[in-house]
Amino acid sequence: MKLGGNFFEDLGPGQRLINPVPRTITEGDVALYIALTGDRNPTRCSDEFARSLGFERAPVADMLVFHIVFGRTVGEISLNSPGNLGYADLRFLRPVFTGDTLRAETETLGWRETSKGDTGVVWVRTIGFNQRDERVLEFYRWVMVNKREPSVPTGADSAPPMPAEASLAQVSFPRITRFAASATGGDRFWEDYDAGERILHPQGMTLEEAEHQMATRLYQNTARVHFNQLQQQSSRHGRRMVYGGHIISVAQALSFDGLENVLGMAAWNGGSHVAPTFAGDTLFAWSEVLGRIDLGREDIGGLRLRLVAVKNADPSREEISLRLAGDDGRERYDPRVVLDLDYVALLPRRAVAG
Amino acid sequence: MKLGGNFFEDLGPGQRLINPVPRTITEGDVALYIALTGDRNPTRCSDEFARSLGFERAPVADMLVFHIVFGRTVGEISLNSPGNLGYADLRFLRPVFTGDTLRAETETLGWRETSKGDTGVVWVRTIGFNQRDERVLEFYRWVMVNKREPSVPTGADSAPPMPAEASLAQVSFPRITRFAASATGGDRFWEDYDAGERILHPQGMTLEEAEHQMATRLYQNTARVHFNQLQQQSSRHGRRMVYGGHIISVAQALSFDGLENVLGMAAWNGGSHVAPTFAGDTLFAWSEVLGRIDLGREDIGGLRLRLVAVKNADPSREEISLRLAGDDGRERYDPRVVLDLDYVALLPRRAVAG
Amino acid sequence: MKLGGNFFEDLGPGQRLINPVPRTITEGDVALYIALTGDRNPTRCSDEFARSLGFERAPVADMLVFHIVFGRTVGEISLNSPGNLGYADLRFLRPVFTGDTLRAETETLGWRETSKGDTGVVWVRTIGFNQRDERVLEFYRWVMVNKREPSVPTGADSAPPMPAEASLAQVSFPRITRFAASATGGDRFWEDYDAGERILHPQGMTLEEAEHQMATRLYQNTARVHFNQLQQQSSRHGRRMVYGGHIISVAQALSFDGLENVLGMAAWNGGSHVAPTFAGDTLFAWSEVLGRIDLGREDIGGLRLRLVAVKNADPSREEISLRLAGDDGRERYDPRVVLDLDYVALLPRRAVAG
């Protein structure tokens, strides 16, 4: 691995990288994840509830698995990134338990220099494995990366096509015989959500520097923009930026109120970090139901959801549109929107309500 | 569970609520508890010492058990609370160990609208259970809750009587044969404390936003006032409020210096959060010995203590009275007092000093 | 233990103290250590990698062992210390694993009142033991301690000689047969480092109050200067000081980039906290190779390194000298230098590269 990390020029397509530093996930990571994000899903915070669903004990939160796998890739891909941009075709393939050791491999797929010329976008595909070399997570992401030589054009211009939707062929969840909703506090099952509904999650969460730094270090994600205030002072925003994945986790945790019976994430069709977030910002979230997906199982179904996070505005108290028409007639995200994630959640069906 | 939580109007007496989201306590929670509060009691931070007392391994700190049980109840009782007021007859009934899963049930006992009419006080009784449905904790509490319709009077006025003292009939602690005070650093046993003594705990602890937020999220206590700065800006104090339970934990941890041989809490007779605490405040504590309680055991005894926490004043350096006489002749708490807790600690007796 | 801790006058030579509060190290401590410091060494964060080196599972990070042992000694030695000064002949004698319980014993070796007369320096030797009474760590340290009676001279003036180098007779590390550098991302082995090289570690880390307070509480180090802002307001710096050990941990974590294949610390020859660090400071680090040490083993060797931490200046971007000549011709540390640590790291030799 290069000291100081790769720059855009180093990340041309066709490289297969074995990302260093395998990581064993422990009960300590799980507790910190709860303390830093506010996660309350009983599937992963109660061994008893997890056993009632057919697990041997509570699996690790899907987003914690994502962060650990993602963290492996930062040293080679995004150490010198001013911001992660988006994701496609992300799939959680297998539950992870404390004691498992995760590692990652990443393939570079394409690159394109930005018009300004000092940065470029790099497309990669990452696979996360456990200690038995079983795949636990796969995803595409694209990320802005600084150039080593901002003034030297690279001519890089090969953006690869990204899958529009994630395959759900390999959804891994135990067969549920009975779902005790008294443990979640939710009374809505898969059949009770209809496309078009917008669920306004009622809570807000203010972020602190120590919190996002601790979360990001826990995942061993070392991207400079999150930690180095001396460097960030002279950046565009003048501040440390919050790791985008932390925003997804906080938004997901906020979404528990209104989506109490969600069992976990199966896949992401796509997602974008629409705007940066900083310490002091207060996050809110809503979920839009995009549709129900029949998984051919009688116990659980898929719910396609758009999870939107906004900052410093409470969608329960003021109407916020996802997009606004600009003066030029083009639609743009409302400037308060920071996350737009299109994902598939797993929910119990009424047949297993008990 | 109602999206957005219950308001005062929803919390009339006679409801029996099974509070959602069971929670398995892990070594991660224990480490975070130490990191966030400064707990140093070897009974719970040393497996070796705990074994010397007859435990199989270190039990979970009593206050961590309290926080986890309390946290279960917030969604239904105090999500929309501007402040928790007090407790009565709280009893720790059984030790909890990592790996145990806790859940809670709460009964609403009474309610009274406040004179201003925009809030009311709700009285509840909560029982915490482990995964074997054994009771581990019971307590009464009363809490201020916002009304959904501040301008519509409810006429609610049925404050229930609260027990003045906690019963000590069911104190659960292994039989000790030898207490090695070299492990605690303390040289005082049960017989060495006399009613009337005031122990000035010498240390102070300044609180940070990230710390109280992490603690409160760890307990999955979601009350809005602790997390949502956007909302709090327009509140009376303009700031996020620190969860009152965090104050008890920090004060208890500060009290280790001077009460080194305390084995843990048996019960609370009563307690009040006298004034709110905010990030930036520095906490100090003293303990007043209210009396010794003979538990009919030769190894341990009960010590009735008043634990007082004050903010931004060091009782070792300036004399602070618990109460001051106002101009109207009525006694009020000194405005720097934030906690007044009347509890029973367990201490080894001289017979087991070794 | 004295309520309020010992002062300089209490710490005359020849005392043997059994430091209170044994502490079991758990997976929670390990996760917090990663979250607070940014440690990424796979030897201690991957059970799989640790097994490939001959451990049964991942050992606890050397610096976490140091902090826990050090923390035991604070109540008696440095509760009333305005700053820890230095270390000599520190040796990690045996790996520590989660579940182990550590305790400490400390002997006072010498003391010297400072010229100003309000403080003095105390020299001590501390030994850390595990639950089998095996030594895991030994070190000398000297620390400034406040006097109880600043105006009463003690005449204390018996500074003991300190060892100039640590003995490496007892290096404890399993016999390695194969070191998979793909797990660390590093391509340099013991033979690849030569005396005189300066490795500029590319990252910087900004410190927050909540972070250093959580770290220091985790280690149950209660020294007042780290926690009590009310007291510190009237101190020389007006602020809480960061525990010096936290600086070593952060600098060591930063040094992973460039020293990826380091297996851990074997010993410190000596170290000094050259200047205080405060929340808001951004830390950077470099390592100077002082020499290779042949341990008589074919699998691993010792690398003598000088780890230097500086604040608010990036040595990758500006030339920083360790020492500057003053107007009086005397050399002093550059005022941005906060740590100067002379230690021995263990590295795999090329023979085991695989």
Three-state SS letters, chain B: CCCCCCCHHHCCCCCEEEEEEEEECCHHHHHHHHHHHCCCCHHHHCHHHHHHCCCCCCCCCHHHHHHHHHHHHHHHHCCCCCEEEEEEEEEECCCCCCCCEEEEEEEEEEEEECCCCCEEEEEEEEEEECCCCCEEEEEEEEEEEECCCCCCCCCCECCCCCCCCCCCCCCCCCCCCCECHHHCCCCCCHHHCCCCCEEECCCCEECCHHHHHHHHHHCCCCCHHHCCHHHHCCCCCCCCCCCHHHHHHHHHHHCCCCCCCCCEEEEEEEEEECCCCCCCCEEEEEEEEEEEECCCCCCEEEEEEEEEEEECCCCCCCCCCCEEECCCCCEEECCCEEEEEEEEEEEECHHHEC
**What is the C-alpha to C-alpha distance for residues C35 and C48, in angstroms, rounded to an integer?**
20
Ramachandran class of B131: left when φ > 0, alpha when ψ lies in -120 to 50, beta otherwise? alpha
Touching B (3+ Cβ pairs <8 A), the chains are A, C
Is the pLDDT at A329 greater than 90? The verdict is no
pLDDT of C321:
94
Tokens describing residue B79: 């999500």
- Pairing between β-strand A101-113 and β-strand A16-24 as defined by DSSP bridges: antiparallel
Other C-beta atoms lying within 10 Å of the C-beta of residue B328: 7
ipTM of the complex: 0.97
Other C-beta atoms lying within 10 Å of the C-beta of residue C351: 17
Q: Do C209 and B209 touch (CB under 8 A)?
A: no
Q: Which of C23, C208, C229 sits opposite B45 (nearest CB)?
A: C23
DSSP one-letter code for A307: E
Q: Which of A18, A23, A217 sits opposite C46 (nearest CB)?
A: A23
Residue pointed to by tokens 């600098």: C251
Return the closest-CA partner of residue B159 out of B215, B114, B217: B114
Q: How far is CA C114 from the centre of its chain?
A: 24
Q: Do C34 and A220 touch (CB under 8 A)?
A: yes
Over residues A216-224, mean pLDDT: 97
pLDDT of C306:
98
Percent of chain A with pLDDT over 90: 95
- Pairing between β-strand A264-273 and β-strand A331-333 as defined by DSSP bridges: unpaired
pLDDT of B198:
97
Tokens describing residue B61: 């700190």
To the nearest 10 degrees (0 to 180), the angle between helices C27-37 and C62-77 is 90
Side chain identity, residue C25: I
- The helix or strand, by DSSP H or E, that contains position C86, with its residue range, turns out to be strand C83-92
pLDDT 10s digits, A36-74: 999 999 999 999 999 999 999 999 999 999 999 999 999
pLDDT of C203:
96
Q: Do C214 and B36 touch (CB under 8 A)?
A: yes
Alpha-carbon dihedral angle through residues C10, C82, C308, C200, given to the nearest 10 degrees? 150
Name the pLDDT band for C115 (thresholds 50, 70, 90): very high
Tell me what the pLDDT averaged over chain A comes to: 96
Is the pLDDT at C38 greater than 90? The verdict is yes
C-beta separation of B22 from B220 below 8 A = no
Percent of chain B with pLDDT over 90: 95
**What is the C-alpha to C-alpha distance for residues C63 and C44, in angstroms, rounded to an integer?**
11
Weakest mean pLDDT among A1-5, C69-73, C335-339: A1-5
Q: Which of A75, A98, A227 sits opposite C205 (nearest CB)?
A: A227
pLDDT of C256:
98
Other C-beta atoms lying within 10 Å of the C-beta of residue C341: 25
pLDDT of C41:
98
Side chain identity, residue C279: A
Which residue of chain A is at minimal alpha-carbon distance from B22?
Answer: A46
Other C-beta atoms lying within 10 Å of the C-beta of residue B75: 25
CB < 8 Å to A34, chain B: 217-218, 220
Tokens describing residue C278: 């405060």
Residue pointed to by tokens 């906080």: A250
**What is the C-alpha to C-alpha distance for residues B125 and B130, in angstroms, rounded to an integer?**
17
Using an 8 Å CB-CB cutoff, list residues of chain B that contact chain A: 1, 3-5, 18-24, 26-29, 31-32, 75-76, 98-99, 101, 103, 131, 208-211, 213-215, 217-218, 220, 222, 224, 227-231, 240
Which residue of chain B is at minimal alpha-carbon distance from C102?
Answer: B46
Touching A (3+ Cβ pairs <8 A), the chains are B, C
Q: Do A240 and C35 touch (CB under 8 A)?
A: no
Is the pLDDT at A162 greater than 90? The verdict is yes
Q: C184 vs chain A: nearest CA distance in angstroms? A: 5
Is the pLDDT at A341 greater than 90? The verdict is yes
pLDDT of B236:
92
Tokens describing residue B71: 């946290």
CB < 8 Å to A231, chain C: 204, 314
CB < 8 Å to A283, chain B: none
Return the closest-CA partner of residue C10 out of C87, C83, C96, C80: C80
**Prediction pTM value:** 0.98
CA atoms within 13 A on the CB side of B126: 30
Is the pLDDT at C172 greater than 90? The verdict is no
Q: Do A28 and B23 touch (CB under 8 A)?
A: no
Tell me what the pLDDT averaged over chain C comes to: 96
**Measured between alpha carbons, how far is residue B148 from residues A88, B151, B236 in Å?**
42, 9, 18
C-beta separation of A339 from A250 below 8 A = no
- Pairing between β-strand C101-113 and β-strand C16-24 as defined by DSSP bridges: antiparallel
C-beta separation of C193 from C347 below 8 A = yes
Q: Which of A1, A227, A229 sits opposite C185 (nearest CB)?
A: A1
Q: What share of chain A is helix, strand, coil (3-state, %, to 5)?
A: 20, 30, 45
pLDDT 10s digits, A9-24: 999 999 999 999 999 9
Name the pLDDT band for C171 (thresholds 50, 70, 90): confident
Q: Do C26 and B29 touch (CB under 8 A)?
A: no
Residue pointed to by tokens 């780890």: C307
Taking 70 as the pLDDT cut, the residues of chain B under it are none
**What is the C-alpha to C-alpha distance for residues C226 and C213, in angstroms, rounded to an integer?**
7
Touching C (3+ Cβ pairs <8 A), the chains are A, B
Residues in chain A: 354
CB pairs under 8 A between A and B: 130
- Helix/strand/coil for A126: strand
